[in-house]
Structure 1
Amino acid sequence: MPLIKAFPGLRPANGRAEDVAAPPYDVMNEAEAREMVEGRPWSFLHISRAEVDLPVGTDPYSPEVYAKAAENLAKMEQEGVLVRDAKPCFYVYRLTMGEHVQTGLAAVASVQAYDNDRIKKHEFTRPAKEDDRVRQVDALNAQTGPVFLVYPSAVAVDDTLALIAEGAADMDVTAADGVRHQIWVADDEKVVEQLTREFDAMPALYVADGHHRSAAGSRVGAARKAANSKHTGEESYNYFLSVIFPHNQMKILDYNRVVKDLNGLDKEAFLEKVEAAFTLEMSDTPVKPAGTAEFGMYLDGQWYRLSLDPARIPADDPVARLDVSLLADNLIEPILGISDPRRDSRIDFVGGIRGLEGLEARVDSGEMQVAFSLFPTSMEALMAVADAGEVMPPKSTWFEPKLADGLVSHVLD
């Protein structure tokens, strides 16, 4: 079973990509999704967030939502808004956000490789979110949300993708956030064979974003395999929809923290405890850390620069060396008393796309008392954690730009 395969994608008909393309299903709330579909009858949100077509307050996990999603997908196919390619293809996918450009490959990835940890993970998943994705795939009989994978940059692959992307794109959409999404259909059999072979020679791929979607792909594949007495391994359910980018083109933003209170400490006592582990300097400007083991802190209208004592940085533990771990282990847990950031309501997380002003706003409003800015986790650090078979702390990475939903889907025959 190859690591990746070409597939006959279900995608917008010529001239319809702009009508269909939508942000990922999990980056907005219901109210925002309802606003986004106003005047857009063919937005893919009618499939990925089908509650927008049901009464306000409908449980997004109710059977009616999945049934509505299937109805909407069928309608988009019947109306010719979505069409399926006649033969297996790869799809070169380029994202452009300002000066940043990354070019990857939309393909289906092997469930077997995922189960055998050749497609490596770095996060735990939550059962409720996994169940949701499984029900969505089963209702649609299609995988519509691609898993964001990374491959160790390989010159031959990178060059092939860049060459394909020299011509006019088959789909070219600039989203409301200014990110440009371009897709080129790669259906030449020799190119398909070459890319399949070159990816198969790679030791591993890495899940960057989409752990619940990849886990759901594995679960759907296992269930359908068990139900198929004539299973061969060639069935479409043995693969899950992915877009795969080279690791050195990835853009990871900081993933910052805000905390509601000082754990019963007054400001002076809190700062005294912080100074026991960090070098603490006041700053006249917002602090965007310049390197690892450096943090910004915003408290009572004042920014501080925190530098961790190098002796506190573990030498050989890929998880404990992460900046999110260093902050948690030296400040958030011992001083602020937050030991389980997954469940503790006193802490929240702010993606770097919102900027340092997003941190200031949360504190200045009185909602939160202190904020911390972090240096972004590197792709190499993520891969080291995955290679070690370890799991990163929650909210360690914020990838930008995001993939769009609806530009190519994988039908399960």
Structure 2
Amino acid sequence: MAKIHPFKAVRPTRDKVSLVACRSYQSYTPIERDSRMNYNPYSFLHIVNPGYKYQKEISGEERYKLVRNRYLEFKEDEIFIQDDNPCFYVYKIVNREQESFCGIIAAASAEDYHNDIIKKHEDTLKDRESTFKEYLKTVGFNAEPVLLTYPDNDFITKVISETVKTRAEYEFTTTYRDTHYLWKIDDKKSVQEIQDAFSSISIIYIADGHHRSASSYLLSQDLKENNPEHQGNEAYNFFMSYLIPESDLKIHEFNRLVKDLNGLTKQEFLIRLDEWFRIENRGIKAYKPSKPHHFSMYLDGEFYSLYLRKTAYKFTDALEELDAQILYKTVLEPILNIKDLRSDTRIGYSHGKNDIVLVKSMVDNKEYKVGFGLFPASIEQVKKIANEGLKMPPKSTYIEPKLRSGVTIYEF
């Protein structure tokens, strides 16, 4: 049964939350990052990019220590406060498309991650796990929740519905035109009822944040070994998560772009594709797949539809039914000789929130030779792959919602 706990969040004061909150550090270009830090002294970017203060790139242990220092300065200046009692936090996002996401920020069990109560669908890189573990150990906090999803639960849905009728602790709109809301739940009866409701759920799934989850588990083991008084309820045994019901999850595809045809002419390439797909030239009119196992392709100024020949490709497990895996097994690996999707510099990705026209423009601009559009995976596919203990190829899903950093912070 899932162990989901309340915690005492460190968070910005109400008047500064819109200034503190930021996107994930990696999502900014250097110019965007510097612009925000130049004009906003409260941005959480100042904490995670401490070298900015000295106009110097800083990495490794030196950076981690400076991150810790900047964080403590924000606390000392009372930009951050900490709640007195353990809370659950209802968090709602309404994006520019007026799609709404609503769930609960809480502490999830690292032991549940290890015991596969929290299930995974992506591989993680050991180096990244270890690096982030050392980062967490030095800074002593986590500011980006792991996105978890659970089967819709009537009681939890009712609690959320009743909570959002009250005045929010936070309400702010970003320059991306997403509006964020946060409510605290801290009365003991409600907190216990929410814990009990989650404890009735046997499996929870990671939607986004596999490396953060893995690193948090490694951290819990390190700190456990170094604590002779270990009890099992210490903060390091948990990691901050945003839990939303499956019905609220939005999954987009990641389209693929490749820089060359592996020495093949256009005609030779199309002939090789014909082994696996029924191909139709759609001309200059943009084509986007409308169902699983259909793909779009943009090549040499024209769109093509590619329909998988089911007599040529056999479905042996849940992974083999995933369109990202199908494209890899039929095109990317055997025809274009792209074997390692993580490290091959010939392949690029564009998530499905970007229009298929972006794929077209990147090919037209000669950045890539060919682009492929995919149909998004479903939550049922993600769960089935996780349940079978299989792992998706990199960049198989682009999952919303995307949270802001620095709105709630988990200390351990």
Q: Structure 2 length as normaliser, TM-score?
A: 0.96
Contact 2:121 2:391 in 1 (8 A): yes
> What is aligned with 1:402?
402
- Matched AA of 1:102: F
Counterpart Cα distance in 2 of 1:403 and 1:85: 20
Deviation of 1:101 (Å): 0.7
1:229 counterpart residue number: 228
Instruction: Compute the displacement of 1:211 (Å).
Output: 1.0
**Does the residue aligned with 2:320 lie in a helix, a strand or coil?**
coil
The answer as to whether partners of 1:324 and 1:396 remain within 8 angstroms in 2 is: yes
Any unmatched runs of 5+ in structure 2? none
Residue 172 of structure 2 is aligned to residue 158 of structure 1: no
Paired residue for 1:322? 322
Q: Deviations over 1:281-314 (max 9, x none)?
A: 1224212110100111000111111111123454
Match of 1:304 in 2: 304
Q: Give the number of equivalent residue pairs.
A: 410
**2:81 corresponds to:** 83
Q: Deviations over 1:220-278 (max 9, x none)?
A: 11111000001001111110010011111111111000000001101111111112211
2:319 alignment partner, SS class: coil
User: In structure 1, which of residues 31, 56, 67 is the aligned counterpart of residue 65 of structure 2?
Assistant: 67
Instruction: Give the secondary-structure state (helix, strand or coil) at the position aligned to 1:38.
Output: helix
Q: Whole-Å Cα distance in 1 between the matches of residues 272 and 259 of structure 2?
A: 18
Q: Which residue of 1 aligns with 2:49?
A: 49
Work out the percentage of aligned pairs sharing the same amino acid. Answer: 33
**Is the Cα–Cα contact under 8 Å of residues 179 and 401 in structure 1 kept in the other structure?**
no
Indicate if the aligned counterparts of 2:2 and 2:200 stay in contact, CA closer than 8 A.
Answer: no
- Corresponding residue for residue 209 of structure 1: 208
- Alpha carbons 1:33, 1:49 under 8 Å: kept: no
- Report the CA distance shift for 1:2/1:256 in structure 2 as closer, same or farther (over 3 A): closer
1:173 aligns with 2:166: no
Deviation at 1:29, TM superposition (A): 4.2
Tell me the distance in 2 between the aligned counterparts of 1:272 and 1:101: 45
Displacement of 1:207 = 0.9
Counterpart code for 1:63? E
**1:3 aligned residue:** 3
CA distance in 2, matches of 1:178, 1:225: 42
- 8 Å CA contact 1:289–1:374 kept in 2: the answer is yes
Amino acid at match of 2:225: A
For 1:107-256, list aligned pairs within 5 A. Answer: 107-256=106-255
Unaligned 5+ residue runs, structure 1?
none
Partner of 1:289: 289
What's the offset of the Cα at 1:138?
Answer: 1.8
Report the TM-score, using the length of structure 1 for normalisation. 0.96
Deviation string, structure 1 residues 147-198 (Cα, Å, up to 9, x no partner): 1111111122122112111122111122222222211111121111111001
CA contact (8 A) 2:19 2:43 kept: yes
Contact kept in structure 1, 2:101 and 2:401, CA below 8 Å: no
Compared with structure 1, are the counterparts of its residues 314 and 102 closer, same or farther at alpha carbon in structure 2 (3 Å cutoff)?
A: farther
The CA distance in 1 between the partners of 2:93 and 2:215, in whole Å, is 25
Paired with 2:351 and 2:204, the residues of 1 have a C-alpha distance of: 25
Provide the C-alpha distance between the structure 2 equivalents of 1:216 and 1:29, rounded to a whole number of angstroms. 25
In structure 2, distance between residues paired with 1:313 and 1:194: 49
* C-alpha deviation, 1:27, in angstroms: 2.0
| More displaced 10-residue stretch of structure 1: 290-299 or 37-46 | 37-46
What is the root-mean-square deviation in Å for CA atoms of aligned residues? 1.6
Q: Residues of 2 paired with 1:39 and 1:199: CA distance?
A: 42
- Residue 107 of structure 1 deviates from its aligned partner by 0.2
Q: Residues of 1 paired with 2:36 and 2:287: CA distance?
A: 34
1:307-386 equivalence runs, <5 A? 307-386=307-386
Distance of 1:360 and 1:38 partners within structure 2: 35
CA distance in 2, matches of 1:295, 1:54: 49
Q: CA deviation at 1:203?
A: 0.8
- d(CA) in 2 for partners of 1:53, 1:214: 30
Q: SS of the counterpart of 1:132? A: helix
In the alignment, what sits opposite 2:13? 13
Deviation at 1:48, TM superposition (A): 2.8
Cα offset for 1:13?
Answer: 1.0
What secondary structure is seen at the aligned counterpart in 2 of 1:26?
Answer: helix
Amino acid aligned to 2:52: V
Inter-partner Cα distance in structure 2 for 1:67 and 1:134: 14
Q: Whole-Å Cα distance in 1 between the matches of residues 221 and 75 of structure 2?
A: 28
Letter in 1 for 2:195: T
Inter-partner Cα distance in structure 2 for 1:372 and 1:256 = 6
